[in-house]
Amino acid sequence: MISRKRAAWLIWLSHFDMEHLVSSLLRNGMLSCVSLAAVGLMFQHVLGSQAHLNLTLQARSIPSLLAFDFQHRDATSFWPDLLIDTTVALLMLIPYIRLLVSALYMSLIERERRLSIFIWVTLLVLTIAGLTDLV
């Protein structure tokens, strides 16, 4: 005898659309990046010659990239640089989030053992690369 919660879970799983979830994650991530970059460039345009947009990345990991903005920026170029660097950080996180969703899907729903192990190892490598300056 299957409980009601279990039956509801099985019905939900039978209608789950992984392709729709992944495509909406990627689309919304890119739209967020474009919006952040546009706002950063608008700030740059409004500030005019007072702010100099630094287009070189000053760090190799996501935390150090954002920490650099808070430590080494002057008041006039703080917001444009922060928004552009946040855009870069978000662009770096989009594949990570996509892999995380795939890992959870393959582990919990599809129960593909070999593929989920491969995805989790890849996710671990991306985590180490994204949080440290090793790469």
pLDDT tens by residue, 54-113? 566 666 677 777 777 677 666 666 777 778 778 888 888 888 888 888 888 888 877 888
**Distance between first and last Cα of the chain:** 52
Alpha carbons 128 and 114: distance in angstroms, whole number: 21
Over residues 24-37, the pLDDT tens digits come to 888 898 898 889 88
Distance CA 53, CA 82 (A): 10
Residue 49 has pLDDT above 60, yes or no: no
Amino acid residing at 97: I
The radius of gyration of the chain's CA atoms, rounded to the nearest angstrom, is: 20
b (16+ CB within 10 A) / e for 70-102: eeebeeebbbbbbbbbbbbbbeebbebeebbeb
